[in-house]
Structure 1
Amino acid sequence: MSTPNKDIGKVEVRIKWDPSPHGEPDIDLDIIAATYRAEEPYGSPAYLVHFDSRSPDGTITLNRDSRTGQGFGFDEVMTIELDRLADRYGRVVVGVAIQQRGGRKTFGEVGSTVVQIREGYTNLVEDDFAGVGPSTAAVVGEFSRTGSGPWVFRADVRGFDADPDAFAAVMGNRVSGA
């Protein structure tokens, strides 16, 4: 969707992918959420939520963490309660990174990848990472607000060539023209 969605309350970020072929190293995709202070929306993140963790105030929780892509439905799920996030935070950037433990893997090499960001039963974004196939990490969306105003969502699928740690440090950088 190209039009921003306004007054977002609570969302669920979900990813799924096919497990690696028999005998190959496991493929592990991770959802990462970076929260930024209102007064410094493009500075360093105030905190990150990823790898089986949750935010200090409990508003962002990784509910399901898969290290293999095995299972039915979505393999990894994160809940973001924007309506409970303190006014001191003005931006949340959501991304997906591929762990690089078993050798370099890109989205183009991972089968049946899908990311969804949903509010209730409404998909705010759904993407298969085809547009960022050569990348090892990707931003998938951004939530922002001014002051205590309503949260606005912007779909923003853009790829990075970075491991999860390096990606977490740059995923919220300003996009040229933004």
Structure 2
Amino acid sequence: MNRATRLNPLDDAAPWQVSDVLVGLPPRVRERRDGGCAVHRVAEKGPVSAALENEEGFAFVTMGLGWDPEALRWLGGKPDIDLNAAALLFTGDSIADVVYHEQLASQDGAVRLLGDNTTGEGEGDDELITVDLTRLPPTVTTVCFVITSYTGQPFGQIQNAFCRLIDGMSNTEFARYELDGGRGSTGFVMGKLFRSAQGLWLYQPIAETIQAKHPVEAVHQLAPYLP
């Protein structure tokens, strides 16, 4: 997969810090660096960053996931690499719905996975999840974004794996993570959209690696990040 179109490629020599991850704010109020969104490599562990307040919140968000296919799968019989993007919806700390490769849309249709890529073939994002926050019922309070390696390869063995979030109103990428720093991990919690006390949808980065090959295996590991 061609990654030449990446925004602000990460300098391999630069240290990764969770505190550097930019929280998703509209362009006019979000601090920008180097003319675009910060890009960061996933660390094994890191603290949850605090969400920043903004005046409008989010209305439409797209999650993108991309990776390169196994280069030697044709020669040595190595299995394909199948990463999964998932959006887990919660009411308080209780799971309400899940959108992933076995359920392509939430019950209300507000969250949709636009197809399941099982090899990493193709340019750009291999999987996309769209979230229409204006259509979510008031009982849904949190949307967590999770990546899992369905075929079990740890992120450290997968080439050019990344995930990102885009503000659908401005078409602005506001969070991006390179997954090759996850080493032996098979799961990654990007962050969460949550309803503020004022009823706005805000984003809080989490950037934590977990062990999970299936989104169901990730559910209980999300408890520390729920109200």
TM-score of Structure 1 vs Structure 2, range by shorter chain: 0.7 to 0.9
1:137 has 2:183 as partner: no
Deviation digits for residues 1-51 of structure 1 (CA, Å, limit 9, x no counterpart): 1553641110110011000123310100001111111xxx223x1111100
RMSD: 2.1
Of 43, 61, 70, 1:20 maps to 70
Instruction: Give the strand-richer structure, 1 or 2.
Output: 1
1:76 corresponds to: 127
Structure 1 residue runs of 4+, over 4 Å off?
none
Instruction: Give the stretch that moved more between structures: 7-16 or 124-133.
Output: 124-133
User: Is the 2:100–2:215 Cα contact (8 Å) retained in structure 1?
Assistant: no
Report Cα offsets for 1:94-123 as digits up to 9, x if no partner: 1000013xxx41111110001011003212
Q: Give the distance between the partners of 1:132 and 1:116, measured in 2 at CA.
A: 16
Choose from 53, 62, 71 the match for 2:113: 62
Determine the structure 1 residue equivalent to 2:173. 123
Contact residue 116 and residue 127 of structure 2 kept, 8 A: yes
| Count of residue correspondences | 170
Structure 2 Cα separation of the partners of residues 165 and 58 of structure 1: 19
1:70-97 residue CA offsets vs partner (Å, 9 max, x unmatched): 0111110110111211111111111000
Q: 1:56 is aligned with what amino acid?
A: Q
Amino acid at match of 1:124: F
Q: For structure 1, which segment, 26-35 or 130-139, has the greater mean C-alpha deviation from structure 2 after superposition?
A: 130-139
Q: Give the 5 Å matches for 1:47-58.
A: 47-51=97-101, 53-58=104-109
Return closer, same or farther for 1:88/1:62 CA change in 2, 3 Å cut-off. Answer: same
Structure 1 residues 10-19 or 162-171, which shifts more? 162-171
User: Which of 22, 30, 33 is 2:87 aligned to?
Assistant: 33
Q: Secondary structure of the residue that 1:172 maps to in structure 2? A: helix
The 5-angstrom pairing of residues 87-166 of structure 1 reads 87-100=138-151, 104-120=152-168, 121-146=171-196, 149-166=199-216
| Structure 1 unaligned spans of 5+ | none
Unaligned runs of 5+ in 2: 1-21, 24-50
* TM-score, normalised with respect to structure 1: 0.87
Structure-2 separation of matches of 1:18 and 1:159: 20
Larger radius of gyration: 2
Go from structure 1 to structure 2 and tell me whether the alpha carbon gap of 1:175 and 1:18 turns closer, same or farther (over 3 Å shift): same
Code of the aligned partner of 1:28: D
